Amino acid sequence: MRATIPSPPITSVTRQLSRRSVFEALLHRGPISRADLAKVTGLSKQTMSEVIDAFGQQGLVRPVGRTSGNVGRTAVLYELSPEGGHVLGIDLGARRLTVALADIAGRVLAEADEPTDSRGGAWALDQIARLSDRLARDNHTHPSRIRSIVMATPGVVNPKSGAIEMAPNITGLDHLNVVGLLGEKLGSAVVLENDINLALLGELWHGCAQNLDNVAFLALGSGVGLGLYVNGRLVRGENGAAGEIGYLPIGGDPLQAESRLQGCLEYQVGATGVVRRYREGGGSDVDSEREVFERAQAGDAIAACVVDETARLTALAAAAVIATVDPHLLVLGGAVGARPDFADKVARVLLQLAPRPVEVRASSLGRRAGVVGALSVALRRLHDEFFGVGELAAALPLPPPAHRSARQ
Amino acid sequence: MRATIPSPPITSVTRQLSRRSVFEALLHRGPISRADLAKVTGLSKQTMSEVIDAFGQQGLVRPVGRTSGNVGRTAVLYELSPEGGHVLGIDLGARRLTVALADIAGRVLAEADEPTDSRGGAWALDQIARLSDRLARDNHTHPSRIRSIVMATPGVVNPKSGAIEMAPNITGLDHLNVVGLLGEKLGSAVVLENDINLALLGELWHGCAQNLDNVAFLALGSGVGLGLYVNGRLVRGENGAAGEIGYLPIGGDPLQAESRLQGCLEYQVGATGVVRRYREGGGSDVDSEREVFERAQAGDAIAACVVDETARLTALAAAAVIATVDPHLLVLGGAVGARPDFADKVARVLLQLAPRPVEVRASSLGRRAGVVGALSVALRRLHDEFFGVGELAAALPLPPPAHRSARQ
DNA sequence: CCTATTGATTCGGTCTCCTGACGAATCAAT
DNA sequence: ATTGATTCGTCAGGAGACCGAATCAATAGG
């Protein structure tokens, strides 16, 4: 086995751009010959040979057979090598921990999950490290080859510091330097991101929202939350609090005490809200919001009523989001939101609310969405590390209003 | 006077990047010598002289005196020349037409406005052409030198076609090929954009929202509308309908007939809504929502009540937007929204609603915001035409889920 | 076996950029 | 006024990256 992968050597901007477009072509056009690469990228054949040579020496690329059947000389086919680097996606949920491993070409090599260590905090982090290590070794990958790690976590992630600001569902996580500790344990930098945001990105990469630029993802589970993808980019907001729609002034008096504390919409549509409304409606004791949904499907009239009201409020929230950002698609996700029957109900109410109908789909990845999204971000970060063009791509900023005189 | 400005000759990518960074330095560091430009951009003195030479031949740049006072040889100072190109910003409102002219460096050369031709449609377009021509000639600029024109218009602008889809306040504009006709009359391509979006961009460029990446602009005038700036980019939405918050399910039953037709919030907070509520409250006859506000300030109790309710509903809408996109700043604009007293009222209610306080400011450009925003977009487009890097800057797309096998 | 075709390499030539050297212009001190 | 220090701007040489044309190599088909 070769030594650890060297960072790409410093090269000129123009060569970096060439490398970048060759990489992109390799990524999307699978095994491909140098001649075809030259045609696709517009580069000359010998530039192509130089780039492929360099890629080969970095372990980024490997030959995989030759063409055959066509007239003319056979060509050597190349593809991205799994040796080029690996990425890890983690979804740390309150109940379930999922980890997945992919290579630089985005091929998902393995996936594993376990119940989250209920002691939370440091125990959960240890569990993550254990599971990740096992996954790497089982796939003949030394953990040190993992160059990019992204973890989905509930709560608000500060977009500047990358720290968790509130993780109500996992005990003792908010007072821990998660990025630092986990990075140490795993031997590589870790990036955190809100779980709903990553579920949205998962649907965008491998799920029901592929190739779209404007998507809203409404998650309904123990709480209610929103992920937004606008102009082809994730919306985090100034404080990472974008999508905290529990506080939407919908479903009650927003100035009421309970509403102000946990959010007006959350108070009605969150798990405790659903259970409370079921109890208030005369229903017998239930443990979780899930049970209410199951009873509704089993014919419980009170439960059905609660579910209908939940769907109605969800649709109102969705209408607010749709009026605000005008997405192409609304994805319903989360433990209860992804239920097709519930999605249908919401879609029906929505049809009566919106000035123009919006497509509504239930999440197609279900609870895998979070890991898949984490993988996609980890992958993107790895690609950027190797082939990013940095600020070069930034838009030309406009001049400030203060001007020196323009002598005519 | 020199002949018309030639399009920049085709150059290699690397030269284009150099030109770009030199231009940026000229734009922001005012008159500057070649030696300083070399230091700022990191390019060599040699390259700098080449680029400045080329700029000079294109008429982009001109010498303006020399340094003095410092030890050492004096340096020739250069600045962007007004001959480099001009841009035009137009704000076509229902009542007022405003036009402004700027040069390639973003220096606003002139601004003029008139009441909009009340016959609307083709007459308004003629009026625009007349006013623009006059403005250009008064500033020693032949109309043919104007290389980029952007117009603010009410209604939804289709982000793909660039056409107006609904302009309720200006008669006979929605059945006209505005882009085509106006482009013909003015002799240059015209781009349309929603007036609220441009007002937002105006505040971002020259107003109260400078140097921010996440801003919401809530306009309250004859109607209610929202402009969103997220991740440093304008949010148009999939159909250009982002920010149509008249349809927010706030302030009434969203399934009611009137609400469904013109939007639930619009029905309460729009001009006709304010007037209606004043009448329903027992107020005497008024012509416009503006009058209600004036009476409130003059001590009319009924009017004050209506205004308070309007502020309350506006704050609810703002809270919904804030929960959704988490902006750094909320700007209140439009004929009534920009009133400082009203902005204060909204801010006060908002303080009780949001989990974390958000900064609220009244528009600082007032009704100039639209033209200024139009200028900023026109300018950006001109810069991009000259120095854009195109798709080169695009993010590396992730591979699609369908994969060829990865032979280990 | 020969030819058409396609893949891959080699060989100039161009473009852009940088470095180092040098002349030009200026201020400050003698 | 002369000299020295300093800065501006240009010139010449060379490195990196790209391309096109020519050339060699390997294959399918007649």
pLDDT tens for A185-217 read 998 999 999 999 999 999 999 999 999 999 999
Q: Is B93 within 8 Å of B154 (Cβ atoms)? A: yes
Nucleic strand D within 7 A of Cβ A42 = yes
Residue range B41-64, pLDDT digits in tens: 999 999 999 999 999 999 999 999
Mean pLDDT of A148-157: 93
Separation between the CA of B44 and the C1’ of C19 (whole angstroms): 9
CB-closest option in B238, B249, B355 to A326: B238
Q: What's the pLDDT at A405?
A: 41
Q: Nearest CA of chain B to the CA of A53: how many Å?
A: 20
Are the beta carbons of A365 and A195 closer than 8 angstroms? no
CB A362 within 8 A of CB A332: yes
- Radius of gyration from C-alpha coordinates of chain B: 25
Q: Give percent of chain A above pLDDT 70.
A: 94
Whether residues A249 and B325 touch (CB distance < 8 A) is answered with no
Instruction: Give percent helix, percent strand, percent coil of chain B, each to the nearest 5.
Output: 45, 20, 35
| Alpha-carbon span B394 to B332, nearest angstrom | 33
Please state the rounded mean pLDDT for residues B124-149: 91
| pLDDT recorded at residue A1 | 40
Across residues B215-241, what is the average pLDDT? 94
CA gyration radius for chain A? 25
Please report the pLDDT score of residue B4 as a whole number: 39
pTM score: 0.92
Give the pLDDT score at A404.
43
pLDDT for the residue B5? 40
For nucleotide C6, the protein residue with its alpha carbon nearest to C1' is: A72
Judge whether residue A115 has pLDDT over 50.
yes
Q: What is the mean pLDDT of residues A276-302?
A: 85
Mean pLDDT, all residues of chain A = 88
As a whole-number percent, the residues of chain B with pLDDT over 90 amount to: 58
All residues at 6 or more sequence positions from B378 whose CB lies less than 8 Å from its CB, including other chains: B87, B88, B89, B102, B148, B149, B150, B191
Q: Round and report the angstrom distance from CA (B40) to C1' (C16).
A: 19
Nearest residue in B to A408, CA atom: B82
Q: Which two tokens stand for residue A275?
A: 């259970």
Residue A228 scores a pLDDT above 70: yes
- B66: the nucleotide nearest its CA (via C1') is D8
pLDDT at B170 over 80: no
Token output for B245: 């918050």
pLDDT, tens digit, 9 for 90 and up, residues B183-208:
999 988 999 999 999 999 999 999 99
Is the pLDDT assigned to residue B108 strictly greater than 70?
Answer: yes
A380 contacts chain B (CB < 8 A):
yes
Residue at token pair 């600029």: B141
Identify whether the C-beta of residue A127 lies closer than 8 Å to the C-beta of residue A114.
yes
State residue B259's pLDDT score.
66
Q: Do A228 and B401 touch (CB under 8 A)?
A: no
Task: Name the closest residue (CA) to the C1' of nucleotide D12.
Answer: B46
Report the percent of chain B where pLDDT is more than 70. Answer: 94
Three-state DSSP state, A14: helix
Question: Is A155:A167 a contact under the CB 8 Å cutoff?
Answer: yes
Given CB atoms, is B1 within the 8 Å cutoff of chain A?
no
Question: What pLDDT sits at residue B405?
Answer: 41
Q: Tell me the CA distances in angstroms from B47 to A248, A341, B34, B37, B53, one per residue in order.
A: 56, 66, 10, 10, 10
**pLDDT tens-digit profile of A337-392?**
888 889 999 999 999 887 788 999 999 999 999 999 999 999 999 999 999 887 77
Would you call A402 an interface residue with chain B, using a CB distance cutoff of 8 Å? no
Highest mean pLDDT among A267-281, B241-255, B320-334, B383-397: B320-334
Query: Rounded mean pLDDT of A114-122?
Result: 89
What is the predicted pLDDT for the residue at A317?
94
Rounded distance between C-alpha atoms, residue A268 and residue A314, angstroms = 10
Comparing CB atoms, the residue among A231, A355, A406 nearest residue B233 is A231
Higher pLDDT, B58 or A256: B58
Residue B387: which of A17, A327, A396 has the nearest Cβ?
Answer: A396
Query: In whole angstroms, what is the distance from residue A93 CA to residue A95 CA?
Result: 5
Instruction: Cite residues whose beta carbon is less than 7 Å from strand C.
Output: A 33-36, 45-46, 49, 67, 70-76; B 11-12, 14-15, 17-18, 42-47, 50-51, 66, 68-74
* Strand D proximal residues, A:59-118, Cβ < 7 Å: 66, 68-74
Please provide the distance, in angstroms rounded to a whole number, between the alpha carbons at the two ends of chain B: 69
Q: What is the pLDDT of residue B247?
A: 86
Based on DSSP, count helices (H) and strands (E) in chain B, helices before strands.
13, 15
Please give the residue that has the higher pLDDT: either A360 or A253: A360
Task: Flag whether residue A103 sits within 8 Å of chain B, measured between CB atoms.
Answer: yes
- Mean pLDDT (whole number) for A50-71: 90
Q: Are the C-beta atoms of residues B336 and B293 closer than 8 Å to each other?
A: yes
Three-class DSSP category at B196: helix
Is residue A288 over pLDDT 70?
yes
Residue that the structure tokens 């009704």 belong to = B367
**Residue A11, CB, strand D, below 7 Å:** yes
| A408 contacts B238? CB cut-off 8 A | no
Question: Which chain C positions come under 7 Å from a protein C-beta?
Answer: 4-11, 15-21, 23-28
User: Exposed, middle or buried, B134 (CB in 10 Å: 0-12/13-18/19+)?
Assistant: middle
CA to C1' distance (Å), from B46 to D14: 14
Q: Could you tell me which residue, A146 or B391, shows the higher pLDDT?
A: A146
pLDDT at A164: 84
- Report residue A167's pLDDT band, with 50, 70 and 90 as the boundaries: low
Q: How many whole angstroms separate alpha carbon B230 and alpha carbon B233?
A: 5
Residue type at A174?
A: D
Q: CA of A339 vs C1' of C11, distance in Å? A: 66
Interface test with A, best of B138, B324, B392 (most A CBs within 10 A): B324
Mean pLDDT of A259-264: 75
Residue A63 CA, nucleotide D27 C1', distance (Å)? 19
Rounded to whole angstroms, the Cα distance separating B303 from B306 reads 5
Q: How close is the nearest chain A Cα to the Cα of B327, in Å?
A: 6
In angstroms, what CA-CA distances link A233 with A105, A227, A375, B230? 21, 11, 16, 10
Backbone phi and psi for residue B354, each to the nearest 5 degrees, phi listed first: -85, 145
Q: Are A381 and A150 in contact (CB under 8 A)?
A: yes
Is residue B408 over pLDDT 50?
Answer: no
Nearest-Cα residue of chain A relative to residue B321: A324
Sequence-distant (6+) residues with CB within 8 A of B282 are B302
Whether residue B77 lies within 8 A of chain A, CB to CB, comes out as no
- Option in A235, A254, A384 nearest B316 (CB): A254
Q: In the prediction, which pLDDT does A168 show? A: 66
